[in-house]
Amino acid sequence: MLKQSTVLRSLLTLGVGWFLFTGAQAKGSEMFVCTNSEGVRTYQNSDGGNGCVPLNLNPITVVPVPKSSPPLTAGSGRSAAAYDNRSSSDFNAKDDRMKILQEELRIEESKLKSLKDEYKSGQPDRLGSERNYQKYLDRVGRLEQEIMVTNDNIEILKTELIRLAE
């Protein structure tokens, strides 16, 4: 209970200090941080004497977000011009990316085939180290999870390949 009241008092002091600080900044006056004999800090807009020091804060700089250009559409002349101005390195990069994705797809499909072979429609062979039936069930569960993840990966790779082909 003592800890909650200390936290609550600190938050209240901080909130009042922030209120005084923002009000003082608006008026252009100076803020002071005062510490009493018990070590409790307070914030005020006037010098309270012993234990008070001026609070010097740099002003906050706000930078607006630049406006983005309008999106390119298939029918706009700008997108056709941008397409025509692409260098051969852009096409090579796209081809390289497609080759990498196709290789990843081949690997994932191979992995899925081996997982399904091991899974055997939910009845995989029991291993010698699985004398405890729960270990067997855990492995079956992991196989099911790996098959789901691999299927998801294959779908993502196919979607990305279709997007690159456009």
Q: What are 54-76's pLDDT values in tens digits?
A: 877 666 677 777 776 555 555 54
Domain count for the chain, please give it.
2
Judge whether 115 lies within some domain: yes
According to DSSP, the residues that pair with 32 across neighbouring strands are 44, 54
Cβ neighbors of 119 (< 8 A, separation 6 or more) are: 140, 143, 144, 147
Judge whether 42 lies within some domain: yes
User: Where is pLDDT greater, at 83 or 32?
Assistant: 32
- Asked whether residue 105 falls in the same domain as residue 161, the answer is yes
- Asked whether residue 93 falls in the same domain as residue 132, the answer is yes
In 3D space, the residue among 86, 95, 113 whose CA is nearest the CA of residue 164 turns out to be: 95
In which domain, by residue range, is 40 found?
2-55
Judge whether 125 lies within some domain: yes
For 58, counting Cβ atoms within 10 Å of its Cβ (0-12 exposed, 13-18 middle, 19+ buried), the class is exposed
- Asked whether residue 146 falls in the same domain as residue 97, the answer is yes
Judge whether 104 lies within some domain: yes
- Asked whether residue 117 falls in the same domain as residue 161, the answer is yes
Judge whether 77 lies within some domain: no
Judge whether 79 lies within some domain: no
- Asked whether residue 100 falls in the same domain as residue 148, the answer is yes
To the question of pTM greater than 0.85 for the whole model, the response is: no
Judge whether 159 lies within some domain: yes
Judge whether 64 lies within some domain: no
- Asked whether residue 147 falls in the same domain as residue 102, the answer is yes
Instruction: Give the pLDDT confidence of 97-143 residue by residue, as tens digits.
Output: 888 889 999 999 999 999 999 999 888 998 888 889 999 999 999 99
